[in-house]
Structure formats: structure tokens, C-alpha cells
Chains A and B, each alone.
Chain A
């Protein structure tokens, strides 16, 4: 195990560092996908890995079924493939390989064979992106028993969660976000033990309300939490970075203290993972002082024009409004009428 050192890295560089470590330490790893090898990735994330690790890193045709199926098959035969699906939207052309194939390998063989593969992808809207390049699909993946799903947002998590996924003996989907790749550098601890899958990240401690979020949306959630603080609402922000397995215990421990729950995600509300979080909390019987609320994208397709997409996706104002609603226990639609700071 390499010694822990701290480096200042961007999100993309953190992913790259994790991939380099995996390729270095585990000779059974492979890295493949469209444009990942010689070009170094369309977002520059896999830069330099082909030069360093040779044939274990290679470019593929635009053939997602073959990429994912190739991962399943090579994983069954002792390799530990890490494949890239450039956009989560493109996984849909090959969803079979994840849902009907990867998820069943261990089960149907009663553990005689496994599919320890990692799919790196990225999702969500970025300004100007069209409906086929903007979706947040974590609920589709997380619905499937046998599949693990995580969504790293900090640079440290980009490193840690990817390594946990690669080290995991189950098929794991790592959902990144292209708007994070080339953001600010942060100090990232490289090396050290690889963590087990699971767990949440505490992004802000607070006593009045538990806000559960994940993915890039948490930047907006944190901004809204700061604004709420100015109004006297102390929000605890939890990054449920592992969607499956979901760390319910950590979420419940927080809700136990605050008595209030808000879930914020970029994905559509209907059938979203927020529905799962709310149901689990309600089912647990933990006492709530107000009805839990979900904030997600409107139930429409995602338009390309920036001002249209801004209406569809949750914004700071929507989140702040929902914080006030949960904190003050006001019915939907009356949020604006509440005097600032009223309890």
C-alpha cells in the first residue's frame, strides 16, 4: 500500500490518480472505452495512462454493448476492467449488459463466478446540453440489486470512491459530473488504505434540518444552506455519495437530531432516489416535526436553452424555498409568504 501523501489536484486529476494507482497496484486491471487511451479522454481525465500502462489501456469503437459486455466477460475471467461510458445517457443503448448481465453473474452461479467491474460515467446538465446529454440516471442503476452505485463530488471522493469501486468485487457504477472535472484544485490524500464501499459525507453540520443530497447538485444545496443560516435555519447537509448501498444509519442519526428532512437531487422527482430516502426515513418511525420534502427536476424533458433548463432543474431559490418550507412546516405554495427568520 502506498504511503499517504497530500497533493493539490483537480477532480479530473484525482480520478486520474486513482486510475493510475489501480493500474499500478493491480495488474489484473484494464482500462478501456471511447477515446480513453491515445486521446486521453474527451475530458482529459485519462491522460497519460496509455503511455504509462500500455496495452492494458485501449480505445474502443463506439460500441457500448461491446464495451460493457467486454467488461462483464473479462471480469468473469479474472480481469478487473474499468470502462468508461462517456455520458450516462449512452449507457441506455447497452443497459442490458448492466441489468441483465453484470447484475446476475454472481447470483446465477451461486458465487462461483463474479463480475468485479467498474463503469466510470458522468451525467447531468451543463449549460446548453441537449435532452440526450443531460439526464441524471442514478435511480435506474440503483434500482438493480447486484449493482453498486456511487456519485463522488469532492476531489477527495473522486479518488477514494473510484478506488473503493475498483477494489470491490461487485459491478459498480461510478457517476461523475463533467462540470466538476476542471474545477478548483483541492488538497487530496493519495495512497493509504482503500475504503470499503458505503458511507456518507458530512458537508455541513446543523441542528434544525437534515438536507440529504448527492452529485453536483450539492453545490447548490450548500449555497442554499448558507443563505438559510442567515435566516436562522441551521441546515445539516449530508452527501449520500453511495446511492447503493445507501448508508441509512447515518441519515437516520441526523434526522433523529433535527426532526426534519429535505432531499435534493438533480434527477426527476418521480421515482428518484429521493423517494427511496424519504420512504426509508418514514418507515423507520423516527419522529418528524414536519412532512419530508423532495426537490428534483420538473417532470419534463431537459431543454437545451440555458434559461429553459434553469427552470427545469432545481436552483438555489427552489432549494432555499424548500428549506423554509420544511423548517417552518408551511404547506407548498406558501413559502414566499413566510417572514424571513420566522420559526
Chain B
């Protein structure tokens, strides 16, 4: 991977992290209210995957842990922050909030707060592509806990049986909320389930944006060439709680420290240094993105609240 590409990925990951940290701050100050799920530690997945997609035609269906997907898809941090702040300028005008926003003009067809519900919908997006000539690939992303949801099993078989161009991307952070997922499955190598459906399955390092890009690019190629769906399993860890305020008492001693040591931003910076990029350049990149997100937060906070008079709009055609 070229240094240029590495730095480009690093910039996106910084933008996601800085946005998440801003959200965390605004949640603690209660400018943002309600439940918020941050993706700190999982940024490489969104960054790498989006680089392998063509968002002018492809479609992404993430989960409630979706701020990072939105930013990677190109939604400006201001539109994400404004959404969480209930502003008119939010990407869904305050209707979606943290856990259910949708940015179709960016190829991001909605977070989903119902675990696994995006997977069958991605099948439909792929199905439509069969008739509209777009060559669309649909990517459904969800946690490994969602692999135990009936809708996900149905979607995988449906896509495989109909040879649909769907990428099922499992963000395996090893926890289903507060429960270690290995406690509720016999085999926690989720990519192995692919063969049961008759599709390809691959597990890879989800903290390396380039490994993610490569895996998703291969999957996209398989999908576009008509071979059908692929199951990808990106191994990662969240380095924050499931929700803000989660004290993570369920994590064994040392696990969080190890996760922080392996998190994707520090790792990409170490790689950049090894490739000869100076500390100063890395610090400048980080600062530039931090400033950009600070300005976004200030603009979002200054924007008018979404107008309650509009709540009955858009229910029907």
C-alpha cells in the first residue's frame, strides 16, 4: 500500500474518531440526549470497505453503530452532529437521531436499530439491481451478535439461492452488548457459516483498512461477476462501551488495554512512521481533522432546531 493511500485512510479514521469523541462530549454535556453507540476502534472497517465500493451505484446498510459508516460514505461531520443534536440541518432533520439515521444520497441507506434487519433489505437492493442494469452491489454490515438473528439466516440463504450481489460484512467485536458472543454460540468463527449457504466466507484483520479494502474489493468483484453473495468477517474490538456510560465490567482484565494497543489509528500511524512519515506531519493531519470537526460541531450547535410543526410530514406519499 502506498504511503499516500495509508495517509488517506488515516485521515478518514481521524475524522470518524474525532466525530465520535465530539459526540461523546456532547452526550455527556446533554446537548445530545438518549442512547448513543460509538464505533471507536472499528474505524478501519468503514474506511477500507468504502474505498472498495462505488457509492454512485452501490448501497450500504449498516447498524445503529453507524456514525463511522456515514462519515466514510462522505456525509459531512456537521450533518451527522446536527442530526444527533436534533437540528433541521441534520442528515434526517432530527428524525433518525444517533441510532436510525439515513443518508441515501451518500449511498448509506440507513442505520437500523433492529439487530439484523438490514440484511434482508440489502438482498432487495441487490435484487433491484438485477432489473435496473446498475450492477449494484449491496453491502449489509452488522455485528457478530446479529449472526444469531433469524432475519440474517434468511437473508444469507435468499441471497445465495438467488445469486444476489450482496456482501454480508460482520463487524466482529466479540460482544453482543454486555455478553461475550462466544458464550451464546458453539463456534465463533462466523465466516465458516458461509459454506453452509454455498457462498464464500473470509475472515481478516478488521483493524487494517487495507486488509478490509482488499477483502471487500474481492467480494465486490465476485458480486459484479455474477458469482453471488460473500460473507466477510472483520475481526475488531470496540475500545469504548456499548453505550455511553457502559462501565464494561464484563470485560476481563487487560482485554481493553490490548484492544487499545491494537486499535486502527495508532496502528496506521506506526505504519506511516515506519514508511518514513514524520511525527510532525502526522500531528498536523490529526490537528487539521480535529479543527474541521470542531468547526462542524460549532456550526451544528448554532443551527436551528428541527421544527416540530413538520412531524406529520413524510408518513405517506
Contacts and interface: CB of A to CB of B under 8 A. Distances in A.
Interface in B130-179: 145-146, 148-151, 176-179
B94 A39 contact: no
Given A300-B311, A306-B33, A130 B113 contact: yes
Nearest to B94: A305
Interface stretch (A59-67, A75-83, A169-177): A59-67
Nearest to A60: B184
Contacts of A310: 308
Contacts of B196: none
Interface string B172-192: 000011110001110000000
B6 interface: no
Q: How large is the interface on A (under 10, 10 to 19, 20 to 34, 35 or more residues)?
A: 35 or more
Contact of B312 (A35, A128, A299): A299
A94 B117 CA distance: 12
Contacts of B90: 305
B114 interface: yes
A301 B315 CA distance: 7
Given A35-B178, A130-B96, A62 B86 contact: no
A131 interface: yes
Contacts of A127: 33-34
A42 interface: yes
Interface in A55-110: 59-66, 89-90, 92-94
Residue among A126, A306, A312 with most chain B CB within 10 A: A306
A131 B90 CA distance: 16
A93 B100 CA distance: 17
A260 B7 CA distance: 71
Contacts of B115: 62, 90
A303 interface: yes
A308 B114 contact: no
A131 B110 CA distance: 13
A63 B148 contact: yes
A76 B116 CA distance: 29
Contacts of A312: 311
A301 to B, nearest CB: 6
A81 to B, nearest CB: 17
A320 B115 CA distance: 39
Given A128-B35, A130-B113, A308-B95, A300 B315 contact: yes
Contacts of B309: 311
Contacts of A94: 150
A90 B33 CA distance: 22
Nearest to B185: A61
B71 interface: no
A62 B34 contact: no
A59 B116 CA distance: 19
A222 B214 CA distance: 60
B151 A93 contact: yes
A22 to B, nearest CB: 23
B76 to A, nearest CB: 19
B100 A304 contact: yes
Contact of A307 (B99, B145, B308): B308
Given A93-B149, A305-B306, A307-B305, A300 B113 contact: no
A90 B113 CA distance: 9
A66 B152 CA distance: 14
Contacts of B176: 34-35, 61-62
Contacts of A130: 96-100, 113
Given A90-B114, A298-B312, A129 B34 contact: yes
Interface in B205-241: none
Contacts of B184: 59-62
Contacts of A64: 149-150
Given A35-B177, A303-B311, A132 B113 contact: yes
Contacts of B145: 61-62
Contacts of A308: 86, 94-95, 306, 308, 310-311
A300 B185 CA distance: 39
Interface in B56-114: 86, 90, 94-100, 112-114
Contacts of B315: 299-301
Residue among B34, B112, B305 with the most chain A CB within 10 A?
A: B34
A94 B150 CA distance: 9
* Central interface residue in B95, B116, B312, by most chain A CB within 10 Å: B95
Which of A90, A133, A299, A303 has most B Cβ within 10 Å?
A: A303
Most buried by B among A59, A62, A312: A62
A303 B99 CA distance: 11
Contacts of A59: 179, 183-184
A69 B74 CA distance: 42
A310 B308 CA distance: 8
A127 B97 CA distance: 11
A147 interface: no
Nearest to A94: B150
B148 A298 contact: no
Interface string A18-43: 00000000000000001100110010
B150 A65 contact: yes
Contacts of A38: 178-179, 183, 250
Contacts of B33: 127-128, 306
12 contacts: A38-B250, A39-B178, A62-B146, A93-B117, A127-B33, A128-B34, A129-B97, A130-B113, A299-B315, A303-B94, A306-B34, A308-B86
Given A128-B35, A305-B86, A310-B308, 13 more contacts: A59-B184, A62-B115, A65-B150, A89-B113, A93-B150, A299-B312, A301-B95, A303-B97, A304-B86, A305-B95, A307-B305, A308-B310, A312-B311
